[in-house]
Structure 1
Amino acid sequence: MPLTDYQGPSASLTNFGRSILSIRRDQVHSMENTREPTAQEVELDAFQRLVADRFHDLSAVGSNELLSLSWVRKLLDVFLCCQEEFRVLLLNNKGYMVRAPMDRLISEFFERSVKALDVCNAIRDGIEQIRQWQKQLEIVLCALDNQRSLGEGQFRRAKKALIDLAIGMLDEKESNTAISHRNRSFGRNNAQKDHKSIGHFRSLSWSVSRSWSAAKQLQAIGNNLAAPKGNEIVATNGLSLALFTMSSVLLFVMWALVAAIPCQDRGLQTHFSIPRHYIWAVPILSLHERILEESKKRERRNACGLMKEIHQIEKCARHMNELTDFQFPLTEEKQGDVKQRVEELRGVFEAVKDGLDPLERQVREVFHRIVRSRTEGLDSFGRAMQHD
């Protein structure tokens, strides 16, 4: 479905596909379709609108910006925004959460969110892997940039760094394994100040194991994820639809992170069972299709990550490597070629250098927000059950 089918924020409540209001009207066969919506109905439909609007903005980018570092950071901003609105929505309706079938649906959602924590850990390892490549780029720049004259020694040093870079980008499994054993993820450094909110999640705050698979983890997050039926939506006062919406957002965001950033056993075959009549489905499915198309391009098929800057590193390193086998002393023309390639390399280096730390902070925030939301939800719903 083209993006032009998306109606934007001005769409009325009755145009939200199978909205909560229209489903309820169908169920009761009411002839009076002009009644005022309840505050809860408005709140739930507003959540659907928020998700649609934010993902529409994400999908509006051109192909040159899709999967760039800045786009991935926007994706995480969107997730955090949706997660916060969803958290508030649940807390405002916690009395419904202990009733069937919501008690089962909310339990399934929290299990999916726990599985997403491992994806966050794997992405942290992938970011660290990109940092190792950044160090090799820096060696090349130090060897060849701002030199009055380029000699054989500088080229030898640059050549070694480029070889190390090529090996690191090709040997994905071994590189990830080494990083997993060398680094710890989100829980350890902040264990003292976050121990109350993390609690029993400490076992999940380590880097992923050697046998961990991103593809299998995404499959586990998506297992049994299906749109609620009309009678389920009515029985839960629309909350089951909000749960399906947030579960779909969670699955897509984790899938997109795995697509963009190096992970163990990356796989993009995850199926998205999202009916297109939900307005937020249009931009999400559009992004899913565009990212899949990107992965099928000849130059991207064997990439360890689809992030734009990773592709730029590969291209710059390949071009630079072609310039390191020269006869010395270099002619002015050859020195000019080298300087041009060095400038290209510096542009990629600066983009990665400026973007990785903020990206890691966002992934860390996603991890902790999921932990806090689940802990808060379980505590709140437990108290509601006691009062019942």
Structure 2
Amino acid sequence: MPATDYQGPSVTLSSSTINRDHKIHSMDSTNDSIDIEAFQRQVADRFHTLSAVDPNDLLSLSWMGKLLDVFLSSLDEFRMIMHNNKGVVNKAPIDRNILDLFERSLKALDVCNAIRDGIEQIRQWQKHMEIVLCALDNQKSLGEGQFRRAKKALIDLAIGMLDEKEPNVSMANRNRSFGRNFVQKDQKSLSNFRSLSWSVSRSWSAARQLVVLGNNLSAPKSNEIAATNGLALAVYTMSSVLLFVMWALVAAIPCQDRGLQTHFNIPRQFIWSVPIVSLHERIMEESKKKERRNSCGLLKEIHRIEICARYMNELTDSVQFPLTEEKEQEVRGRVMEFSEVFEGIKNGLDPLERQVREVFHRIVRGRTEYLDSSKGSHPE
């Protein structure tokens, strides 16, 4: 794909640049080029901060929350650019680029739905973890009945965490714990959109959806940037951020037909491209690790559940009764680790779900604003 030779200023990270986020909205809207250059710098600053994460925290619940915060902040600033340029956004040649972006955003709504389903799956795992803890945690004595109860819950947890691609497990077993129906909210305001529920169809594929999101996404040429007063570059930036964020969500959270081999080719001359490409490469490397290849999601907390559940399974298989003092201490230590993982998931899922919901609604709102503006500029 042809790439633009536009190159913005170098990025210097500091507390002042990170705290500058709220100030962009007060910039002089008559100077469109400053708005767009500032947008590039803000996106670069935020992704540089995200890419500075410790390897042990990459793809954790807290990091995913920061990623969605970056997306929402970038989307707000992009909407401000649209507002500042509302006299030209519905005119050729930029109108086609913007319409393509909002068509892509419809695909992102489906990804949000699938991620909500994935979060619900993790909640089902929580229930099995809670049974294990009820059986073995804070008990004065540990007997065979408690271990049998814990073992059954661990088996159910293992079945629930099997990768959707696993050929040897029946659909009934994979989905037996995932029968909760989602309640549609704000249906009136979303009635004009295809993705209304918080669930996707059985034939839906995250891998195919990401391919569609990335189709025909190419950097604008220098003459396109000049002809649109820089707007084409802003649209391309937002489209790239949208694709990366949706890809990272699919990488981290269980969802139907996960696949990460999306074509992701961002020219490195953009000031925001280096940290995004770096994060993409790091996540791909994580997915290739032997212990992660068959995981149902790369979320760090999922990996911790897998490890703790495996240790607990091995431990429950090896116990003999009555328990020796040494074995009981080992059990209680493992249960404590299991409890810490449980609490981390319990405390982190709700905030992430709220952010996914907010991403969904902000995308809807932005598209609605654009369509309303388009109708106003082309009266029938």
Give the TM-score normalised by structure 2: 0.89
1:169 to 155, 158, 161: 161
Query: How has the CA–CA distance of structure 1 residues 158 and 178 changed in structure 2, closer, same or farther, with 3 Å as cutoff?
Result: closer
> Matches of 2:275 and 2:367 in 1, distance apart?
27
**How far 1:381 moved relative to its partner?**
2.4
Contact 2:220/2:232, CA 8 A, preserved across alignment: yes
Query: How has the CA–CA distance of structure 1 residues 260 and 328 changed in structure 2, closer, same or farther, with 3 Å as cutoff?
Result: same
Query: Unpaired segments of 5 or more residues in structure 1?
Result: 11-36
> Matches of 2:292 and 2:254 in 1, distance apart?
13
Counterpart of 1:57 in structure 2 is 49
Counterpart of 1:189 in structure 2 is 185
**Does the residue aligned with 2:378 lie in a helix, a strand or coil?**
helix
**Does the residue aligned with 1:335 lie in a helix, a strand or coil?**
helix
Query: How many pairs were matched up?
Result: 351
The structure with more helix, counted as a fraction of residues: 1
Give the counterpart letter for 1:243 in structure 2. V
Matched, 1:8 2:4: no
Query: How has the CA–CA distance of structure 1 residues 148 and 180 changed in structure 2, closer, same or farther, with 3 Å as cutoff?
Result: closer
- After TM superposition, the structure 1 stretch with the greater mean CA deviation from structure 2, 201-210 or 76-85, is 201-210
Contact 1:6/1:282, CA 8 A, preserved across alignment: no
1:306 to 298, 301, 314: 298
Contact 2:114/2:198, CA 8 A, preserved across alignment: no
> Residues 156-181 of structure 1: CA distance to partner in whole angstroms, max 9, x if unpaired?
00000000000110153647766776
Counterpart of 2:151 in structure 1 is 159
Counterpart of 1:69 in structure 2 is 61
Give the counterpart letter for 1:338 in structure 2. V
> Matches of 1:42 and 1:358 in 2, distance apart?
34
Contact 2:225/2:232, CA 8 A, preserved across alignment: yes
Counterpart of 1:251 in structure 2 is 243
**Does the residue aligned with 1:302 lie in a helix, a strand or coil?**
coil
> Residues 16-58 of structure 1: CA distance to partner in whole angstroms, max 9, x if unpaired?
xxxxxxxxxxxxxxxxxxxxx9711111000000100111110
2:341 to 334, 344, 348: 348
> Matches of 1:178 and 1:143 in 2, distance apart?
22
**How far 1:380 moved relative to its partner?**
1.3
Counterpart of 1:122 in structure 2 is 114
Query: Unpaired segments of 5 or more residues in structure 2?
Result: 1-8, 15-28, 166-170
Contact 1:97/1:103, CA 8 A, preserved across alignment: yes
Matched, 1:276 2:268: yes
**How far 1:205 moved relative to its partner?**
2.9
Calculate percent identity across the aligned residue pairs.
Answer: 70
**Does the residue aligned with 1:309 lie in a helix, a strand or coil?**
helix
Alignment of 1:344-383 (within 5 A): 344-383=337-376
**How far 1:133 moved relative to its partner?**
0.5
> Matches of 1:9 and 1:347 in 2, distance apart?
34
Contact 1:127/1:360, CA 8 A, preserved across alignment: yes
**How far 1:8 moved relative to its partner?**
2.2
> Matches of 2:178 and 2:133 in 1, distance apart?
28
2:328 to 313, 335, 358: 335
Query: How has the CA–CA distance of structure 1 residues 204 and 181 changed in structure 2, closer, same or farther, with 3 Å as cutoff?
Result: farther
Contact 2:11/2:44, CA 8 A, preserved across alignment: no
Contact 1:59/1:283, CA 8 A, preserved across alignment: yes
Matched, 1:384 2:380: no
> Matches of 1:239 and 1:96 in 2, distance apart?
9
**How far 1:6 moved relative to its partner?**
6.2
> Residues 298-317 of structure 1: CA distance to partner in whole angstroms, max 9, x if unpaired?
10000000000000000000
Contact 2:126/2:342, CA 8 A, preserved across alignment: yes
- After TM superposition, the structure 1 stretch with the greater mean CA deviation from structure 2, 114-123 or 89-98, is 89-98
**Does the residue aligned with 1:323 lie in a helix, a strand or coil?**
helix
Q: CA RMSD in A?
A: 1.9
**How far 1:97 moved relative to its partner?**
1.4
Contact 2:267/2:273, CA 8 A, preserved across alignment: yes
> Matches of 2:156 and 2:164 in 1, distance apart?
13
